[in-house]
Protein backbone atom coordinates (compact mmCIF):
# COMPACT_ATOMS: atom_id res chain seq x y z
CA UNK A 1 0.00 0.00 0.00
CA UNK A 2 2.69 2.53 0.95
CA UNK A 3 4.64 1.79 -2.20
CA UNK A 4 1.71 3.18 -4.17
CA UNK A 5 1.94 6.55 -2.44
CA UNK A 6 3.55 9.06 -4.73
CA UNK A 7 3.47 12.11 -2.42
CA UNK A 8 6.55 13.21 -0.48
CA UNK A 9 7.19 16.26 1.68
CA UNK A 10 10.61 17.87 1.59
CA UNK A 11 12.55 20.57 3.42
CA UNK A 12 15.49 22.58 2.08
CA UNK A 13 18.88 20.91 2.58
CA UNK A 14 22.15 22.45 3.75
CA UNK A 15 20.54 24.74 6.35
CA UNK A 16 18.48 26.75 3.87
CA UNK A 17 15.08 28.18 4.75
CA UNK A 18 12.67 30.28 2.73
CA UNK A 19 10.44 33.12 3.85
CA UNK A 20 8.17 32.78 0.83
CA UNK A 21 6.61 30.06 -1.27
CA UNK A 22 8.02 31.71 -4.40
CA UNK A 23 11.61 31.45 -3.13
CA UNK A 24 11.14 27.78 -2.21
CA UNK A 25 9.64 26.96 -5.61
CA UNK A 26 12.37 28.90 -7.42
CA UNK A 27 15.09 26.72 -5.85
CA UNK A 28 13.07 23.55 -6.49
CA UNK A 29 12.84 24.40 -10.19
CA UNK A 30 16.55 25.29 -10.18
CA UNK A 31 17.15 21.68 -9.09
CA UNK A 32 18.57 22.40 -5.62
CA UNK A 33 18.77 19.59 -3.06
CA UNK A 34 15.94 19.00 -0.60
CA UNK A 35 15.56 16.36 2.12
CA UNK A 36 12.55 14.03 2.26
CA UNK A 37 10.87 14.32 5.66
CA UNK A 38 7.63 12.47 4.94
CA UNK A 39 6.99 9.63 2.56
CA UNK A 40 9.01 6.92 0.89
CA UNK A 41 12.77 7.09 1.62
CA UNK A 42 12.46 9.68 4.39
CA UNK A 43 15.83 11.22 5.26
CA UNK A 44 17.17 10.96 1.72
CA UNK A 45 18.12 13.98 -0.35
CA UNK A 46 16.28 14.54 -3.62
CA UNK A 47 15.99 17.21 -6.31
CA UNK A 48 13.42 17.99 -8.99
CA UNK A 49 15.06 15.84 -11.66
CA UNK A 50 15.07 12.75 -9.41
CA UNK A 51 11.50 13.35 -8.24
CA UNK A 52 10.32 13.60 -11.84
CA UNK A 53 12.16 10.40 -12.80
CA UNK A 54 10.46 8.59 -9.90
CA UNK A 55 7.06 10.07 -10.71
CA UNK A 56 6.72 11.64 -7.25
CA UNK A 57 4.39 14.43 -6.22
CA UNK A 58 6.12 16.91 -3.90
CA UNK A 59 5.18 19.43 -1.24
CA UNK A 60 7.86 21.78 0.11
CA UNK A 61 7.92 22.92 3.72
CA UNK A 62 9.17 26.49 4.14
CA UNK A 63 9.15 29.40 6.62
CA UNK A 64 10.72 27.43 9.51
CA UNK A 65 8.97 24.29 8.24
CA UNK A 66 5.58 25.70 9.24
CA UNK A 67 4.06 26.24 5.78
CA UNK A 68 3.52 23.97 2.79
CA UNK A 69 3.40 24.62 -0.92
CA UNK A 70 0.68 23.15 -3.07
CA UNK A 71 1.37 19.70 -4.46
CA UNK A 72 3.89 19.85 -7.31
CA UNK A 73 3.14 17.25 -9.97
CA UNK A 74 5.93 15.35 -11.75
CA UNK A 75 7.10 17.03 -14.94
CA UNK A 76 5.20 20.13 -13.92
CA UNK A 77 6.53 22.12 -16.83
CA UNK A 78 9.61 24.28 -17.18
CA UNK A 79 9.62 27.03 -14.56
CA UNK A 80 13.31 27.78 -14.86
CA UNK A 81 14.30 31.41 -14.92
CA UNK A 82 16.25 32.91 -17.77
Q: What is the pLDDT of residue 79?
A: 56
What distances in angstroms separate CA 29 from CA 47, 49, 70, one per listed residue?
Answer: 9, 9, 14
Residue 76 lies in a domain: no
Residue 21 lies in a domain: yes
Residue 72 lies in a domain: no
Residue 79 lies in a domain: no
Residue 70 lies in a domain: no
pLDDT digits over 16-65, tens only? Answer: 999 999 999 999 999 999 999 999 899 999 999 999 999 999 999 999 99
Question: Is the per-residue pLDDT at 80 higher than 80?
Answer: no
Whole-prediction pTM value?
Answer: 0.85
> How many domains does the structure of the chain reveal?
1
**Which pLDDT band holds residue 5 (cuts at 50, 70, 90)?**
confident
Residue 80 lies in a domain: no
What range defines the domain where residue 51 resides? 2-65
Residue 78 lies in a domain: no
State the alpha helices, DSSP H only, in the chain.
21-29, 48-54
- Asked if 77 contacts 25 with a C-beta cutoff of 8 angstroms, the reply is no
What distances in angstroms separate CA 53 from CA 18, 22, 41, 48, 71, one per listed residue?
Answer: 25, 23, 15, 9, 17
Amino acid sequence: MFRDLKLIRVVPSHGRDYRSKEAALRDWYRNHDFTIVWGHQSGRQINRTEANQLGLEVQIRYWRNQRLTEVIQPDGGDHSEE
